[in-house]
């Protein structure tokens, strides 16, 4: 995976060793780097196949946005699997919450507070979040305090909550949502727009710089070894390039002709020569926020430390005086919250809720976590890895759809990637020490 | 240990008692066939009860027709899993049903269970979806015709240009019928003459809404949004497709079927051209009525459709007709006609009680279409 | 836990709490009963199902003393110690610390009472690093409530500098460490939090000769600092070498507690194998053990 990096020939030592040394000095997770290289490889491969057309901004934005629902839940699934549990109910919990949003906006609000009120969508979001928390807490309680295996509890959840979807919907598709809510789904109308996207990017760049500085200062404070300065600056520059690149790609996607005409007609101006930059889609902003918060919880809070300790050695965690049961229950409550966030995006993307919304998500979410390096043995897995895992799945799925491969054969390709990722993981771990 | 065994035994007895009371309640002695199918137990095996129409129309209509004939209704749901449906058939056999109304998840894999049921002396009605079996009665809408209507309606408003086709589950025979029907409705001719170009065609596993949306996005992007019409094989997928279209500012002809409230609302809003509606009340009534006739010993060829069906759906002369399956078998069948619902006949579907005016007219400018 | 509580190297021979002038007493004098017990377990019973794993056992340890707890497999010594470390609650009996009765229902209670345990399994989470293991359940937090990994690493570096100066892998998951290094992490965790009482369950079972000697040296050092140590071991030489008193268990019962200077190795072996106190054993029985 690293052999593609070129270094000059006359340097001594094997190329592989030198590259590994460089990577090690930056203290970057090799697994994550591998995923990014894989993703770039996929895009280059399809780019060559399609003569470059697949690398246009709209294609990159589309699959990234499609992956968001799965990626958001996968960040929590990492913690579930790390703690040696499983959650099969995610698709059904998502279904219940999405249907709650849609029923509120489609059936309840029209006869109460009215449709498209400025606050209606927030009430819906709050209600959905509450339901997600309740469903998560029920499952978490049964698993953590009643000691019923999570596989059984969440399998029950998978069935029962899907049944609940029909009770809430009365069996029919509920559409449409409030117009403000639909923005959460992304697309040209659900994006930040050109200027705000740049401002957003600038905020992130400042945050990266502050984070790097704080970390370095923290290590200096105790006199620990720090990264070489070139690595520190290098990481900062790479971060800068990624952010600038991401915003530039998002802004390079312009509103399609149909929308421009609608916009021009509404504002009484000529559509001729009118160009509007779409910018960063809202789902991407939400995913970024979720990833940061979840990574923070997993690595900087006691909660995350305990989750990993439980996964590494449940007995040791118990003997360490950790309240393991409450920790497990919290993981499932968190899953409920993540499902509710994901449900908002899912529902917004189809502007309503069908009874099958979220069907089969459990396997996609688990696949994303596993491709991202989460191990079923427990204790191992990273949140950014799972997010990348989801993006890899959807990059493949989308690109295969784009070139018109039949759906069954798309499944075959994705299955091969899933198994290859785990095989690579197993192989590299065996050779690690 | 002993306590647990006792508890389990008690539970088992209770479960049996519950099954019995719901299964044969109200019927006379098992096996006794009195006048007009008296005591006839009819089992319905749903492939996936999770769709709006079964609960709303088919089931009440079937139940009503069965009970009107003095029979009893029972049902199972396979939750969209063909292997579960095989088990469901076993359950119905064990319950002692006389007729099974079967909504098959998968035509091929249900065959062993069907054979087993027939060996047990049970008659089968293939409901809405074909099963390859000459001894069964096949009651359905003209599914091919649904596709034909979709193509005709879209070609009428968009005779030329780029077409995208979002098909249903690759394992569902219906998806293929619909596609064939589209060709018969003039799509093939239009493609052959070069007027229409198919720029994207995908199957959607499980007829999934989000999946259909994702497929549509891929097709739009692959063609720089130069798509002029979309043939979606049902309304659920049309929901996803419509959202993908709106997101890029397209409002182009779009088809669907099932008469979903959300789709009829789109028709009223002008975001969908047609939803082909299969009057499921009529289908259910035909099946329930036929089951009672079969119970009473009427020969398959002599079974008649009920005379009070709505005219739009009614088969000619109420008689059954031989139908040649894709597998080359000849099956006795009632083929009902689907109804295209467009902007101009929305009132019909509201009047039937299928949907309410509120559902159809949500967010519609009052007066812009007839019922709103 | 705040940053200020970073451990300093323990001053040699810290005065044990409650023990008047015990700092300068020799181990022999301590064993002679000059000081009050640090921990007393009285009439402890633990049953699993119908089986009494520990049956009415009373033992104690004094400051600056090592009490060896020996017995065959299934004698109940680990179970007895688990009820003191909070891993398993005793069914009956009482535990006194500095003469006051305490309730130990879980590991947290034990730790709050100053009782630390080094388990035979080490009880380390293999997937996290040494500082994270050392502070597991007692993390140092920053002012805003986040984990202060730097402070924990710093504290770990200090305590390891004392216990195992060769230890360098502070950021590697402990699964990548050698058996001896893992052992030193487990010991560091026990001694870092100013324990009064240390339970060591087979501390040398998985170690090579050099590492074993290192652990023995450590036990002597901790003893001289005034800790009370329960040493669970099947290695009779370890016990004879390190302990002042020896408590022998047999099928869940306490055979007896003897002063090391009063008995021979053979007599202790007799107690372990035959379950009889030395005065009830005759010469032939002991001879038969050879």
Taking residues A417-433, report their average pLDDT.
Answer: 77
Confidence of residue C285 (pLDDT cuts 50, 70, 90): low
ipTM of the complex: 0.84
Q: Is C47 on the interface with A (CB under 8 A)?
A: no
Nearest Cα to Cα of residue B89 among B58, B138, B44 = B44
Residue in chain B lying closest to A186 (CA): B247
Q: Is C146 on the interface with A (CB under 8 A)?
A: yes
Domain extent for C213: 33-288
Taking residues A411-420, report their average pLDDT.
Answer: 88
- The predicted pLDDT at position C4 comes to 43
Triad B285, B287, B290: Cα angle to 5°: 105
Mutation choice for C interface testing from A221, A297, A319, A379 by most C CBs within 10 A: A319
What is the rounded radius of gyration, in angstroms, for the C-alpha atoms of chain A?
23
Q: Is A347 on the interface with B (CB under 8 A)?
A: no
Q: Which residues of B touch A261 (CB under 8 A)?
A: 249
Q: Is A301 on the interface with C (CB under 8 A)?
A: yes
Taking residues A50-69, report their average pLDDT.
Answer: 91
| Encoded tokens for C36 | 């009050």
Interface of C with A in 157-176 (CB under 8 A): 176
Q: Among all chains, which residue has been given the structure tokens 């950790």?
A: A322
Q: Could A407 and B217 be called an inter-chain contact, meaning their C-beta atoms sit closer than 8 Å?
A: no
Give kind and range of the element (H or E) at residue B229. Answer: strand B229-232
User: How large a percentage of chain B has pLDDT more than 90?
Assistant: 57
Alpha-helical regions (H) of A3-119: 15-26, 30-49, 57-82, 90-103, 109-111
Burial string for A69-79 (b: 16+ CB within 10 Å, else e) reads bbbbbbbbbbb
Q: Could C126 and A379 be called an inter-chain contact, meaning their C-beta atoms sit closer than 8 Å?
A: yes
Check whether A166 has a pLDDT greater than 80: yes
Dist. CA A130–CA A134, nearest whole Å: 6
Interface of B with A in 214-233 (CB under 8 A): 214-215, 217-219, 221-222, 225
Judged on CB neighbours under 10 Å (0-12, 13-18, 19+), C34 is middle
- Per the DSSP assignment, residues forming a β-bridge with B319 are B304
Interface of B with A in 31-50 (CB under 8 A): 50
* Pair A331, A80: CB distance under 8 Å: yes
Confidence of residue C233 (pLDDT cuts 50, 70, 90): confident
* Pair C130, C160: CB distance under 8 Å: yes
Q: Which residues of A touch C128 (CB under 8 A)?
A: 305, 308-309, 312
Judged on CB neighbours under 10 Å (0-12, 13-18, 19+), C79 is buried
Confidence of residue A228 (pLDDT cuts 50, 70, 90): confident
- The predicted pLDDT at position B325 comes to 83
Q: Is A31 on the interface with B (CB under 8 A)?
A: no
Mutation choice for C interface testing from A27, A312, A431 by most C CBs within 10 A: A312
- The predicted pLDDT at position B257 comes to 93
Alpha-helical regions (H) of A301-403: 302-312, 314-319, 324-350, 361-371, 383-402
Judged on CB neighbours under 10 Å (0-12, 13-18, 19+), A159 is middle
How many Å separate Cα C208 from the centre of its chain? 20
For the stretch B325-352, pLDDT in tens is: 878 889 999 999 898 999 999 998 898 7
Asked if the domains at B32-142+280-337 and B144-277+341-361 fall in one CATH topology, the answer is yes
- The predicted pLDDT at position A53 comes to 87
The CATH code of domain B32-142+280-337 reads 3.40.50.2300
Check whether A135 has a pLDDT greater than 90: yes
Count CB neighbours of B317 within 10 A.
Answer: 9
At C45, which CATH number? Answer: 3.40.50.300
Q: Could B215 and A401 be called an inter-chain contact, meaning their C-beta atoms sit closer than 8 Å?
A: yes
Q: Are chains B and C touching, using the cut-off of 8 Å on CB pairs and a minimum of 3 such pairs?
A: no
- Per the DSSP assignment, residues forming a β-bridge with B24 are none
| Encoded tokens for C39 | 């921990």
Query: Greater confidence, B129 or B63?
Result: B63
User: How large a percentage of chain A has pLDDT more than 90?
Assistant: 64
Q: Is residue C6 part of a domain?
A: no
The DSSP call for residue A379 is S
Nearest neighbour of C128 by CB, restricted to A296, A309, A319: A309
Half-sphere exposure of A27 (CA within 13 A, CB side): 13
Give kind and range of the element (H or E) at residue A249. Answer: helix A229-252
Instruction: With H, G, I as helix, E, B as strand and everything else as coil, classify residue A359.
Output: coil
B231: phi then psi, degrees, rounded to nearest 5: -95, 100
Q: Could B202 and A406 be called an inter-chain contact, meaning their C-beta atoms sit closer than 8 Å?
A: yes
- The predicted pLDDT at position B4 comes to 52
Count CB neighbours of C140 within 10 A.
Answer: 20
Q: Are chains A and B touching, using the cut-off of 8 Å on CB pairs and a minimum of 3 such pairs?
A: yes
- When the pLDDT of each residue in chain B is averaged and rounded to a whole number, the result is 86
Interface of C with A in 101-130 (CB under 8 A): 106-108, 111, 117, 119, 121-128
Q: Which residues of C touch A299 (CB under 8 A)?
A: 147
Domain extent for A329: 69-186+281-430
Query: Greater confidence, A40 or B105?
Result: A40
Taking residues A125-129, report their average pLDDT.
Answer: 97
For the stretch B3-60, pLDDT in tens is: 554 554 544 444 444 444 333 333 333 333 333 445 899 999 998 887 767 888 899 9
Taking residues A323-327, report their average pLDDT.
Answer: 96
Q: What share of chain B is helix, strand, coil (3-state, %, to 5)?
A: 45, 20, 35
- A125-129, A184-188, A331-335, B283-287: which range is least confident on average? A184-188
Taking residues B164-189, report their average pLDDT.
Answer: 93
Interface of B with A in 129-168 (CB under 8 A): none
Instruction: With H, G, I as helix, E, B as strand and everything else as coil, classify residue B167.
Output: strand
Dist. CA B266–CA A132, nearest whole Å: 30
- Per the DSSP assignment, residues forming a β-bridge with C92 are C45
Taking residues A104-125, report their average pLDDT.
Answer: 91
The region, left, alpha or beta by phi > 0 then psi within -120 to 50, assigned to residue B96 is: left
- Taking the CA of residue A317 and the nearest CA in chain C, the distance in Å comes to 7
Taking residues C235-262, report their average pLDDT.
Answer: 90
Dist. CA C271–CA C290, nearest whole Å: 14
- The predicted pLDDT at position B207 comes to 92
- The predicted pLDDT at position B156 comes to 96
Nearest Cα to Cα of residue B279 among B333, B342, B344, B348 = B348
Q: Is residue A8 part of a domain?
A: no
Half-sphere exposure of B188 (CA within 13 A, CB side): 9
Dist. CA A217–CA A227, nearest whole Å: 11
For the stretch C172-207, pLDDT in tens is: 899 989 888 898 899 899 889 888 999 999 888 777
Q: Could A257 and B260 be called an inter-chain contact, meaning their C-beta atoms sit closer than 8 Å?
A: no
- The predicted pLDDT at position C5 comes to 43
Confidence of residue A14 (pLDDT cuts 50, 70, 90): low
Subunits with 3+ C-beta pairs closer than 8 A to A: B, C
How many angstroms separate the most distant Cα atoms in chain A? 77
- Taking the CA of residue A336 and the nearest CA in chain C, the distance in Å comes to 24
Kindly provide the residue ranges of all beta strands, DSSP E only, lying in A171-220, ordered along the sequence. none
Taking residues A248-257, report their average pLDDT.
Answer: 92
- A108-122, B23-37, B277-291, C27-41: which range is least confident on average? B23-37
Q: Could C127 and A224 be called an inter-chain contact, meaning their C-beta atoms sit closer than 8 Å?
A: no
At A299, which CATH number? Answer: 1.10.3470
Q: Which residues of B touch A56 (CB under 8 A)?
A: 221
Assess whether the previous peptide bond of A176 is cis (omega < 30° from 0).
Answer: yes
Dist. CA A308–CA A295, nearest whole Å: 13
State the distance between the two ends of chain C, measured CA to CA, in whole angstroms: 54
Check whether B360 has a pLDDT greater than 50: yes
Q: Is residue A215 part of a domain?
A: no
Confidence of residue C30 (pLDDT cuts 50, 70, 90): very low
Interface of A with B in 375-414 (CB under 8 A): 397-398, 401-404, 406-408, 411
The DSSP call for residue B56 is I
Q: Could B249 and A256 be called an inter-chain contact, meaning their C-beta atoms sit closer than 8 Å?
A: yes
Interface of A with B in 144-203 (CB under 8 A): 162, 166, 171-176, 185-190
Half-sphere exposure of A26 (CA within 13 A, CB side): 19
Q: Which residues contact A35 (CB under 8 A, 6 or more apart)?
A: A371, A372, A373, A385, A388, A389, A392
- The predicted pLDDT at position A323 comes to 94
Q: Could C150 and A308 be called an inter-chain contact, meaning their C-beta atoms sit closer than 8 Å?
A: no
Check whether C19 has a pLDDT greater than 70: no
Check whether A3 has a pLDDT greater than 70: no
Domain count of the fold of chain C: 1
Confidence of residue B309 (pLDDT cuts 50, 70, 90): confident
Confidence of residue C282 (pLDDT cuts 50, 70, 90): low
For the stretch B188-220, pLDDT in tens is: 999 999 999 999 999 999 899 999 999 999 999
Half-sphere exposure of B346 (CA within 13 A, CB side): 30
Count CB neighbours of A184 within 10 A.
Answer: 24
Subunits with 3+ C-beta pairs closer than 8 A to C: A
Check whether A7 has a pLDDT greater than 90: no
Dist. CA B40–CA B69, nearest whole Å: 9
Mutation choice for A interface testing from B57, B213, B214, B358 by most A CBs within 10 A: B214
Q: Could B209 and A356 be called an inter-chain contact, meaning their C-beta atoms sit closer than 8 Å?
A: yes
Q: Is B366 on the interface with A (CB under 8 A)?
A: no
Domain residue spans of chain B = 32-142+280-337, 144-277+341-361
Query: Greater confidence, A411 or A14?
Result: A411
What one-character-per-residue DSSP string does B263-328 give? Answer: HHHHHHHTS-SEEEE--HHHHHHHHHHHHHHHHTT--GGG-B--TTS-TTTPPGGGB-EEEE-TTS
Nearest neighbour of B243 by CB, restricted to A58, A349, A403: A349
Check whether B221 has a pLDDT greater than 80: yes
Taking residues B74-96, report their average pLDDT.
Answer: 88
Q: Are chains A and C touching, using the cut-off of 8 Å on CB pairs and a minimum of 3 such pairs?
A: yes
Confidence of residue C283 (pLDDT cuts 50, 70, 90): low
Nearest Cα to Cα of residue B350 among B229, B254, B268 = B268
Pairs of residues, one from chain A and one from chain B, whose beta carbons lie less than 8 Å apart: 136
The region, left, alpha or beta by phi > 0 then psi within -120 to 50, assigned to residue B186 is: left
- When the pLDDT of each residue in chain C is averaged and rounded to a whole number, the result is 83
Domain count of the fold of chain A: 1
- The predicted pLDDT at position A22 comes to 66
The CATH code of domain B144-277+341-361 reads 3.40.50.2300
* Pair A147, A355: CB distance under 8 Å: no
- The predicted pLDDT at position B40 comes to 92
Q: Which residues contact C113 (CB under 8 A, 6 or more apart)?
A: C97, C102, C104, C196
C-alpha distances (whole Å) from A205 to each of A33, A237, A288 are 20, 10, 13
- The predicted pLDDT at position C11 comes to 44
Check whether B75 has a pLDDT greater than 50: yes
What one-character-per-residue DSSP string does chain C give? Answer: --GGGPPPPPPTTPPPTT-TTGGG--HHHHHTT-S--SEEEEEEEEEETTEEEEEEEEEEE-TT-EEEEE-STTSSHHHHHHHHHTSS--SEEEEEETTEEE---SHHHHHHTTEEEE-TTTT--TTSBHHHHHTTTS--B-TTSSB-HHHHHHHHHHHHHHH-TT---SSSBGGGS-HHHHHHHHHHHHHHT--SEEEEESTTTT--HHHHHHHHHHHHHHHHTT-EEEEE-S-HHHHHHH-SEEEEEETTEEEEEEEGGG--HHHHHHHHHH---GGG--HHHHHHT-
For the stretch C93-147, pLDDT in tens is: 999 999 899 999 999 999 999 999 999 889 999 999 999 999 999 999 999 999 9
Confidence of residue A148 (pLDDT cuts 50, 70, 90): very high
- Taking the CA of residue A217 and the nearest CA in chain C, the distance in Å comes to 10
Q: Which residues contact A222 (CB under 8 A, 6 or more apart)?
A: C150, C151, C153, C154
Q: Is A319 on the interface with C (CB under 8 A)?
A: yes
- When the pLDDT of each residue in chain A is averaged and rounded to a whole number, the result is 90
């Amino acid at each position: 995976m690293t052999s593609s990096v070129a270094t000059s020939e006359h340097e001594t030592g094997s190329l592989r060793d030198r590259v590994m040394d460089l990577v090690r000095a930056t203290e970057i997770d090799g697994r994550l780097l591998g995923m990014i290289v894989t993703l770039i490889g996929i895009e280059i491969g399809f780019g060559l196949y399609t003569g470059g057309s697949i690398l246009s901004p709209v294609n990159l934005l589309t699959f990234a946005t499609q992956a968001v629902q799965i990626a958001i839940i996968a960040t929590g699934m990492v913690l579930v699997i790390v703690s040696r549990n499983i959650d099969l109910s995610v698709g059904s919990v998502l279904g219940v919450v999405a249907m709650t949003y849609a029923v509120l906006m489609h059936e309840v609000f029209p006869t109460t507070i009215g449709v498209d009120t400025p606050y209606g969508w927030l009430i819906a979001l709050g209600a959905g979040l509450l339901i997600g928390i309740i469903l998560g807490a029920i499952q978490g309680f049964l698993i953590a305090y009643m000691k019923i295996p999570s596989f059984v509890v969440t399998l029950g959840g998978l069935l029962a909550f899907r049944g609940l979807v029909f009770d809430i919907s009365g069996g029919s598709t509920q559409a449409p949502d409030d117009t403000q809510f639909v923005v959460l789904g992304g697309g040209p109308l659900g994006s930040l727009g050109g200027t705000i996207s740049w401002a957003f990017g600038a905020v992130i760049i400042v945050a990266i710089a502050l984070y790097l500085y704080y970390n370095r200062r923290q290590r200096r404070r105790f006199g620990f070894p720090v990264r070489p300065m070139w690595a520190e600056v290098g990481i900062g520059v790479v971060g800068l390039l990624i952010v600038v690149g991401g915003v530039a790609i998002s802004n390079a996607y312009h509103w399609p002709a149909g929308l421009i005409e609608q916009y021009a007609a509404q504002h009484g101006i000529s559509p001729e020569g009118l160009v509007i930059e779409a910018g960063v889609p809202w789902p991407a902003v939400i995913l970024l926020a979720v990833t940061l918060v979840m990574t923070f919880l997993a690595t900087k809070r006691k909660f995350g430390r305990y989750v990993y300790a439980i996964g590494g050695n449940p007995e040791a965690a118990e003997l360490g005086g950790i309240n393991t049961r409450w920790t497990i229950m919290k993981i499932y409550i968190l899953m409920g919250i993540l499902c509710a966030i994901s449900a908002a995006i899912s529902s917004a993307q189809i502007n309503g809720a069908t009874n099958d919304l979220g069907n089969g998500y459990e396997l996609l979410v688990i696949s994303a976590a596993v491709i991202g390096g989460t191990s079923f043995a427990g204790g191992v897995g990273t949140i950014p890895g799972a997010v990348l895992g989801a993006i890899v799945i959807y990059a493949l799925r989308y690109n295969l759809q784009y070139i018109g491969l039949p759906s069954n054969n798309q499944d075959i390709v994705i299955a091969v990637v899933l198994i290859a990722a785990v095989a690579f993981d197993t192989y590299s771990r065996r050779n690690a020490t | 240990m002993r306590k647990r065994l006792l508890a389990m035994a008690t539970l088992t007895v209770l479960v049996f008692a519950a099954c019995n009371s719901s299964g044969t309640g109200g019927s006379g002695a098992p096996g006794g066939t009195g006048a007009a199918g008296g005591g006839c137990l009819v089992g319905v095996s749903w492939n996936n009860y999770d769709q709006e129409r079964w609960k709303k129309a088919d089931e009440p209509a079937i139940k009503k027709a069965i009970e009107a004939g003095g029979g009893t209704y029972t049902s199972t749901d396979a939750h969209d899993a063909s292997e579960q449906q095989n088990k469901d058939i076993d359950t119905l056999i064990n319950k002692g049903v006389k007729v099974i109304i079967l909504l098959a998840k998968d035509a091929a894999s249900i065959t062993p269970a069907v054979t087993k049921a027939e060996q047990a002396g049970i008659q089968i009605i293939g409901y809405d979806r074909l099963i390859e079996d000459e001894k069964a009665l096949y009651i359905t809408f003209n599914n091919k015709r649904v596709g034909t209507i979709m193509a005709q309606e879209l070609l009428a408003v968009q005779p030329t240009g780029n077409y995208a086709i979002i098909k249903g589950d690759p394992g569902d025979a219906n998806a293929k019928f619909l596609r064939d029907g589209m060709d018969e409705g003039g799509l093939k001719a239009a493609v052959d003459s070069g007027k229409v170009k198919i720029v994207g065609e995908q199957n959607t596993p499980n007829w999934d809404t989000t999946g259909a949306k994702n497929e549509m996005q891929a097709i739009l992007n692959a063609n720089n949004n130069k798509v002029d019409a979309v043939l979606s094989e049902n309304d659920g997928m049309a929901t996803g497709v419509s959202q993908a279209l709106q997101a890029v500012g397209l409002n182009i002809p779009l088809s669907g079927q099932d008469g979903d409230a959300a789709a009829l609302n789109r028709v009223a809003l002008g975001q969908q051209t047609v939803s082909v509606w299969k009057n499921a009340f009529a289908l259910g009534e035909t099946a329930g009525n036929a089951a009672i006739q079969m119970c009473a010993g009427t020969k398959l060829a002599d079974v008649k459709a009920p005379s009070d069906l709505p005219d739009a759906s009614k088969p000619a002369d109420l008689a059954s007709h031989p139908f040649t399956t894709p597998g080359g078998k000849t099956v006795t069948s009632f083929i009902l006609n689907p109804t295209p619902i467009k902007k101009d006949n929305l009132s019909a579907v509201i009047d039937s009680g299928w949907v309410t005016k509120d559902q159809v007219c949500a967010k519609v400018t009052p007066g812009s279409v007839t019922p709103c | 836990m705040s940053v200020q509580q970073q451990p300093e190297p323990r001053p040699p021979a810290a005065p044990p709490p409650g023990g008047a002038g015990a700092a300068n007493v020799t181990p022999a004098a301590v064993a002679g009963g000059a000081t009050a017990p640090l921990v007393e377990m009285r009439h402890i019973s633990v049953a699993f199902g119908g089986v009494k794993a520990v049956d009415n056992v009373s033992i104690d340890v004094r400051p600056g003393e090592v009490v060896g707890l020996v017995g065959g497999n299934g004698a109940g010594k680990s179970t007895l110690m688990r009820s003191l470390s909070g891993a398993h609650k005793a069914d009956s009996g009482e535990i006194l610390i500095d003469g006051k009765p305490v309730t130990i229902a879980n590991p947290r209670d034990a730790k709050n009472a100053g009782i630390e345990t080094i388990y035979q399994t080490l009880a380390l989470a293999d997937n996290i690093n040494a500082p994270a293991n050392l502070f597991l359940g007692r993390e140092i937090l920053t002012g805003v409530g986040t984990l202060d990994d730097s402070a924990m690493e710093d504290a770990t570096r200090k305590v390891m500098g004392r216990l195992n100066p060769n230890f360098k892998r502070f950021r590697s998951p402990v699964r990548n460490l050698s058996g001896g290094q893992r052992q030193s992490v487990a010991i560091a965790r026990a001694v870092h939090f100013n324990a009064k009482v240390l339970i060591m369950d087979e501390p040398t079972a998985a170690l090579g000769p050099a590492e074993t000697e290192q652990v023995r040296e450590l036990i002597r050092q901790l003893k001289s600092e005034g800790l009370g140590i329960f040493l669970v071991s099947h290695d009779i030489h370890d016990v004879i070498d390190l302990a002042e008193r020896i408590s022998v268990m047999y099928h869940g019962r306490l055979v007896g507690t003897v002063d090391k200077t009063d008995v021979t190795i053979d007599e202790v072996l007799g107690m372990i194998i035959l379950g009889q106190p030395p005065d009830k054993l005759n010469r032939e029985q002991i001879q038969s053990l050879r």
